[in-house]
Amino acid sequence: MLDRDQNVNIEEQNTQKHGFFQRIKKRYVSEKEEMQEKSAKAAAVEKEEPKAPEGRGVLRISEQSLLYTLWQEWLPTKEDASQGLYLILEKPDEEPVPMDTNSLEAEKQRMAVKLLIEAKKRYRLVHPDEEKAKTPEGEGEKAEEKIPSVIPNIDADAVICISKGAMGAWIMLFPPCGDGKPFDYEDLMEALEAESICYGVDMDKLKQLAEEPVYFTLTLIARGLPEVHGKDGWIEEKYPREMENTFEMDDHGNMNYRSRANMQIVQAGDVICEAFPPTKGTDGIKVTGTVIPATDGKPAKLLGGVNTNLNDERNQLLASREGNLLYRNQCFCVQPLFRVNGDVDYAIGNIDFPGDVYIAGDVKNGFVVKAKGSIIIDGMVEGAVLEAGGDISIHKGVLGDARAVIRSQKSVSAQYLENCIVYAGDKVETSSIITSSVYSDNAIIVRRGRGTIIGGRLAATNLISATVIGCRSERVTELVIGEFPMLKQQKEELQNNLQDVEEEEVAADRNIRYLDTYEILEDENKERARAQVLAKLRLQKSVLGMKKEQMLKQLEKLEQKEIDISKCKILCDTIYPTTKVRLGNKWCTIEQRTYRCDIHMKEDELLIY
């Protein structure tokens, strides 16, 4: 009995579940069918919805408006109303109105309101019976008998719409009613004059409207002339404000990480910026004839910093001297000093500057610093190359590792010089020189601090003065006095360059003689090419001849310099063996320690006191 009841309960539960799922399925199917029906209706509506015409400022007139009613009554057939009534301010094939799209969109709303108001007035004229029916006298059945059904005779009418800024004017024609008179050309002109429209009128379109009237359509009949404001003057900068930190390539196509384009060198008179004048504005004219004044552009102002000036016309900013061009405090300036606030390393790269160079840190191995002016270094110099047209001052010293080369057209000053080569056009001053080659066209003075010269080779024109020369270990030290070391090097370079120029001159002369032996070629192109090569070779020979003449004059001047050997001397407090000394063409070797030494020439004899 118990099992039977349980089976009945299970069957009832299954029936309930089945009914529940059936209801859910039915609801889902119903919702799906309803959505499909809505989609079908929307597609049908969309399909029936007429496509709006193209153009700017397009507005569809509501079917509930009196303007639409008048238009529909005027249409010959009802099928013509299927596309609806649209206002189009600018058609695609028309010359554009001098108004932006946003302004044109705002104007179509204003014009729609005006046209609807005018349509209401027109409707009252066309349907006077409806107005009489609204009066108290026309109430009831008696009123219907009094209302006539005769169509009134009303002339055609024109509505002029002018945009807010009066940059465009449109006209819409209402058709005549009954035996009313249509619009002619004179009527249209009177309508325009009534609205004070006198500029930019499209006369061809106006005549076309008079001959073939188009009703219930906005027609662009006049366009204004927009004002054109003058452009402000502008400045063209010939140089970038900030230099890009780029690397250069070597002769083998490899990246040279020591060479960076970290400065902009300008020469005196270079144009940094150029100012261009402003343009004048052109006045505009509204369709009503009102002039729209335009503003002229403002001139650009050139601002220059240190070492810059304006030309006479004040339209160019020029560099007044050679230097590094920088953009600081909203203007360009030319700095005659190139300043490095740290070390000269891979972050800075090699330096080649036409002015002075100041380095707050060290100059690392393998880097080159060149300056036409002076070089001041607060730190030390490792295995680097320094070249200056002025003085070189190294506050700490040079630890050259047999790779450092210091070359100055004037003086060199350092705390110490070790394992390096130094050339100075004037004098060299330091506290110690160790295993270095030092050359000076005037004097080498080692009197500061310990004042020691140990090893190496020193050559000066007039004087070598030190506290101690040599050392107890008897390291060989060579001293030369009474010659021009820098001058000698210059002569050698000039002679080598002169030899190269002479070889090029001989080669050019040989090629000229070879081409001159050819007879005139029949081929015009080949003959023209031969003539061009000959002209280049003759020009090259002429240039080489001038270079050769200049080099010979320079050599002659260098050879004219003479030295008074009697005034040349070597002074030291203590000199150790083995020290080799040469004055002019006289040699001697110091074999024993000597104090308070004075070495000089007297009557062509080398004396040591």
How close are the terminal C-alpha atoms of the chain, in Å? 150
Give dist(CA 117, CA 184) in Å, integer.
24
Mean pLDDT in order along the chain per 10 residues (609 residues):
50 56 58 64 51 83 88 75 82 87 87 90 83 52 48 87 92 89 89 92 91 90 93 93 73 70 84 94 94 93 91 92 90 92 89 92 94 94 95 94 93 96 94 94 92 93 93 89 79 85 87 75 75 86 88 80 83 91 86 88 77
Backbone angles phi, psi at 83, to 5 degrees: -85, -15
Rounded to 10 degrees, the C-alpha dihedral 87/93/98/104 comes to 30
Q: Which residues neighbour 205 within 8 Å (Cβ) at sequence distance 6 or greater?
A: 219, 220, 221
- Residue 312, classified by CB atoms within 10 Å of its CB into exposed (0-12), middle (13-18) or buried (19+), is exposed
The angle subtended at Cα 603 by Cα 597 and Cα 608, nearest 5°, is: 15
**Stated pTM of the model:** 0.61
Closest CA to 407 of 443, 451, 440: 440
Instruction: Fill in the DSSP letter of residue 520.
Output: P
In the prediction, which pLDDT does 389 show? 92
Q: Find, among 154, 152, 223, 162, the residue nearest to 191 by Cα.
A: 162
Which residues on neighbouring strands pair with residue 468, listed in sequence order?
452, 574
Distances (CA, A) of 171 to 72, 108, 127, 190: 19, 13, 23, 13
- For residue 429, how many C-alpha atoms fall within 13 Å in the half-sphere facing its CB? 12
The 8-class DSSP code of residue 413 comes to: E
Between strands 271-276 and 265-266, the pairing is unpaired
